[in-house]
Amino acid sequence: MAKKSIAPSTSASKPTSGSVKARDIATQRKILTLAEEIVRRSLGGREPIVQIPTRTKSNTIWNKKKGILEMGDATAERPLFDLKTAKQFMQTMLHASTIKDLIEAQKTSSLRGVFYKAKHTVAGTKENTFDTQDESDPILEDLEVALGALREELHVFAENRGSMVGNITIVDKGDEIDCRRMGSGGYALPSIVEPDIIQFKKCEAKFVLHVEKGTVWNRFNEDRFWEKNNCILTHGAGQPPRGCRRLLQRLNQELKLPIICVLDNDPWGHYIYSVIKQGSISLAFESTRLAIPDAKFLGIRAKDFRECGLDDAVKIDLTDNDIKRAKEIAAYPWFEAHKGWQKEINALLSNGFKMEVESLITKDISYVSETYVPERLRAKDWLE
Amino acid sequence: MAKKSIAPSTSASKPTSGSVKARDIATQRKILTLAEEIVRRSLGGREPIVQIPTRTKSNTIWNKKKGILEMGDATAERPLFDLKTAKQFMQTMLHASTIKDLIEAQKTSSLRGVFYKAKHTVAGTKENTFDTQDESDPILEDLEVALGALREELHVFAENRGSMVGNITIVDKGDEIDCRRMGSGGYALPSIVEPDIIQFKKCEAKFVLHVEKGTVWNRFNEDRFWEKNNCILTHGAGQPPRGCRRLLQRLNQELKLPIICVLDNDPWGHYIYSVIKQGSISLAFESTRLAIPDAKFLGIRAKDFRECGLDDAVKIDLTDNDIKRAKEIAAYPWFEAHKGWQKEINALLSNGFKMEVESLITKDISYVSETYVPERLRAKDWLE
């Protein structure tokens, strides 16, 4: 297990009002550059155009050395004088303007809030700028990649999901939060966890145990697992949202804490791990800020049915879709080149059934937190 | 607005290890009584039977005086020697046994955990005690009503969902949590918030503002609404789960804080309010522990489109299902006898469109937290 260290030289971790401003000024400048270029083209008698990097699978590259998914160089033009793109051009400008307003007001908004902010009926017509949020979210992602700024830097938040307890004190907007004293509820993870909002203070923890579900998290918290094993305990209520992933990455990079995952033994659990580790295709442009290449998968493993001596009743038959997904995941480049993962996915397929973390309850209510995870940790028995 | 008071005589609020035991001993006694009755009947040569109060709409009574939904007296017999009920009888006994174990071990479990604990293949057969959780959850509800004990008293938790910040200090499992200093994330609401786990300590807040969604909660928290308006700010991530409802009820009953809701202007928002206020049919047996008859509905109101001068683009057409639901809700006895609510639902129907809380963003990013809610609070302009 890596040594704890509070990386004192990480300036990003220091709460200075200067750093807030610096980040925002940089984003502002990017928006103004975008706008000025359009004005310049217009005044010069040329057609206004925005260049949008392409967020497709074909423009996603697996960077083996870094161990993350990255976006390639392909871009698409979005000209104003084209019936196919004129509306999107207008929508891009509207959202850029909203973001400028948000930054100036030093406020943040949700995806839905940004959608509403720009939604209005164009004067003298019955045409809306946006009809549904489905049109709005991709335009925001376009802006993220076009500006090279994370959604968080655009002052836009996603859902709040997930909780944290454990041997760490953090500072959230100036409030010191002792995660060792958060009772049964825990600290609710916010969506924006950038260093100007959240700073790490005192941390004795030697690793982070990340579990899939809140109900499993409750079991570990009730058994004071984080206290007995000197760690931090998190969950992301299923596929962890960006705030949770980014916080895990910061704990990993800045405090050098290993991230150890306890997820279901099914393709969905494997996919959650894959996203935590390598990033996802749709957010490939953000992998450097979200992916954790050395994240570990402790379980549940296909071998556990036999190793833990579980009852037949915990088996849940794989569906056709599960089998299809398992094969797709096995073909991901980072799993394809990994003997351990090929073996793991094959074992799932040859088992013919999946298992949830909760299936360990059939042994004993605290088997997972007091026997299974501690034993695997001691043996360093995990996949990575 | 009611005066703040920390009801010093509420013994339930005092954290004594004795009170934990008392609650658990009472539940244990109920389980043993159930078991002993079955043993007695068996030894006496009579058929083992469990009596289960009926959880149907026809056995749900609207108690106008108390302002809550209650369960009637109808019960159904669940005999062992009947092919239709033998399996359920066995399942009921299995879950009662798991609960006894949980209480003895002083641990809690999730609905899914209890399901797994009881799930096994019956020796010498291919028959499982339970196949899916759909079979298991209703058996637990049966036990709640048969034993007259809340799910929380059976040591079973639901999801953790929702967050809280504001002018209150609570104690959660012995940890003091200052909700005035919880940053952008907040205190994550646990599922079990009974007085032996959560106690209220210092509270200056004069009311609770409960909003529907986490994204709206973020807006109010970022604008420090709870500080400027001396209140507590909560959300339940949609239809609030039991832990959130029970905590709101305790804040209302023990600290005499009005609960003021800001929900969407649609049948779903009205239904959320209805459940917070009067309870639900499926949980009618728990209304006395969950319902808040004097909860207030501040908005969004049907009149707000005109009163706030909103743009046509915020209108979302009512679907046929919305219209059907609105009429059903209008026919609930507590809404049927309420002129204000009849007018409100009729206004929604005659508008022909619904509106989300986020639609107020079209006015200004902080219009909802800095203008709309403060003005309505001052004018006491709400429905109750």
Q: Which residue of A has its CA nearest to B368?
A: A113
The number of CA neighbours under 13 Å toward the Cβ of A50 is 28
Q: Give the pLDDT confidence score for residue B329 in this predicted structure.
A: 95
The pLDDT tens digits for B169-185 are: 999 999 999 999 999 99
**B40-48 long-range contacts, CB within 8 A, separation 24+:** B47/B79, B47/B80, B47/B81, B48/B79, B48/B80, B48/B89
Least confident residue range of A150-164, A172-186, B221-235: A150-164
Mean pLDDT of A185-202: 95
Which are the contacts of B111, defined by CB distance < 8 A and separation ≥ 6? A215, B133, B136, B137, B140, B156, B158
Q: How confident is the model at residue A20 (pLDDT cuts 50, 70, 90)?
A: low
If you measure CA to CA, which chain A residue comes closest to B215? A110
Q: What is the DSSP string of A295-358?
A: -EEEE--TTHHHHTT--GGG-EEPPHHHHHHHHHHHTSHHHHT-HHHHHHHHHHHHHTEEB-GG
Query: Which chain B residues are closer than 8 Å to A311 by Cβ?
Result: 119-121
Residue A5: pLDDT over 60: no
Which pLDDT does position A75 carry in this prediction? 94
Give B264's DSSP letter. Answer: -
Nearest alpha-carbon partner for B92 in B129, B66, B121: B129
Across the interface, which of B108, B184, B217 has its CB nearest the CB of A173? B184
Which of B105, B185, B358 is nearest residue A160 as measured by Cβ atoms? B185
Q: What is the DSSP letter of A154?
A: G
Predicted confidence (pLDDT) per residue in B14-28, tens digit: 444 445 578 899 999
A160: distance to nearest CA of chain B, Å?
6
Distances (CA, A) of A55 to A84, A163, B225: 18, 30, 38
Q: According to the model, what pLDDT value does residue B16 have?
A: 40
Question: Would the pLDDT of B48 be above 80?
Answer: yes
Answer for the pair A244, A233: CB distance below 8 angstroms, yes or no: no
Q: What is the pLDDT of residues B367-376, one digit of tens each?
A: 999 999 999 9
Give counts: helices (H), strands (E), chain B: 15, 17
Task: Output the average pLDDT for chain B.
Answer: 92
- Taking CA–CA distances from B189, the nearest residue in chain A reads A185
Using the predicted structure, report yes or no on whether residue B57 has a pLDDT greater than 90.
no
Q: The whole model's pTM is what?
A: 0.89
Average pLDDT over residues B15-42: 83
Residues pairing with A259 in the sheet: A208
Report domain extents, chain B.
Answer: 13-157, 163-378
Evaluate if residue B159 carries a pLDDT over 90. Answer: no
> B13-157 and B163-378: same fold?
no
CB-based contact A115:B313 (threshold 8 Å): no
State pLDDT tens for residues A267-311: 999 999 999 999 988 788 888 889 999 999 999 999 999 999 999
Active site residue B271: no
Write the pLDDT tens digit of every residue in B208-237: 999 999 999 999 999 999 999 999 999 999
Measured between alpha carbons, how far is A177 from A180 in angstroms, rounded to an integer?
9
Judged against a pLDDT cut of 70, whether residue B4 lies above it is answered with: no
pLDDT for residue B6 is more than 70: no
Q: How many CB atoms are located within 10 Å of the residue B142 CB?
A: 21
Q: What percent of chain B has pLDDT over 90?
A: 83
pLDDT band at residue A99 under the 50/70/90 scheme: very high
What six digits make up the tokens of B285? 């047996």
**CB-CB: which of A105, A116, A358 is closest to B358?**
A116
Q: Which of B90, B110, B111, B116 to mutate to test the interface with A (most CBs of A within 10 A)?
A: B116
Selection from B270, B160, B273, B262 nearest residue B213 by Cα: B262
Cross-chain Cβ contact A181/B176 below 8 Å: yes
Give phi and psi for B39, each to the nearest 5.
-60, -45
Q: What is the pLDDT averaged over residues B303-327?
A: 96
Query: Which of A199, A215, A217, A233 is the best residue to mutate to test the B interface, defined by the most B CB atoms within 10 Å of its own CB?
Result: A215
Contact (CB<8Å) B160/A160:
no
> Dihedrals φ, ψ of B61, to 5°?
-120, 135
Contacting residues for B296 by C-beta, under 8 A, at least 6 apart: B258, B259, B260, B261, B382, B383, B384
Extended beta strands in chain A, E state: 49-53, 60-63, 68-71, 75-79, 109-110, 156-157, 163-166, 168-172, 175-178, 187-188, 198-203, 207-211, 231-235, 259-262, 296-299, 316-317, 353-354
Tens of pLDDT, residues B317-331: 999 999 999 999 999
Active-site annotation holder among B116, B187, B273, B372: B116
For A109, which of B111, B217, B365 is closest by C-beta distance? Answer: B365
What are the residues facing B63 on neighbouring strands?
B68
| CATH 2.160.10.10 applies to domain A13-157 | no
Q: How many Cα atoms within 13 Å fall on the side-chain side of residue A91?
A: 27
CA atoms of A358 and A342, how far apart (whole Å): 24
B283 Cβ partners below 8 Å, 6+ apart?
Answer: B242, B290
The answer for residues whose C-beta is within 8 angstroms of residue B319's C-beta and 6 or more apart is none
- Chain B residue with Cα closest to A127: B313
d(CA A380, CA A374): 10
Domain B163-378 class in CATH: alpha beta
Q: How confident is the model at residue B288 (pLDDT cuts 50, 70, 90)?
A: confident
Q: What is the distance in angstroms between the Cα of A98 and the nearest Cα belonging to chain B?
A: 10
A358 to B181: CB separation less than 8 angstroms, yes or no: no
Residue found under tokens 């809306």:
A128
pLDDT tops 50 at residue B2: no
Q: Of A310, A358, A366, A369, which to mutate for an interface test with B (greatest number of B Cβ within 10 Å)? A: A358
Give pLDDT, residue B45: 95
Q: Do A160 and B121 touch (CB under 8 A)?
A: no
Best to test chain A binding among B136, B163, B314, B358 (most A CBs inside 10 Å): B358
Q: Which tens digits make up the pLDDT trace of A116-151?
A: 999 999 989 989 999 999 999 999 999 999 999 989
Judging contacts by C-beta atoms under 8 Å, the chain B residues touching residue A366 are 105, 107
Segment B100-111 shows an average pLDDT of 94
Using CA coordinates, name the residue in chain B closest to A174: B183
| Alpha-carbon gap, residue A170 to B276, rounded angstroms | 34
Among the partner-chain residues B102, B116, B192, the one whose CB lies closest to the CB of A314 is B116
The arithmetic mean of pLDDT across residues A244-272, rounded, is 97
pLDDT for the residue B284: 85
The CA distance from A266 to the nearest CA of chain B, in Å, is: 17
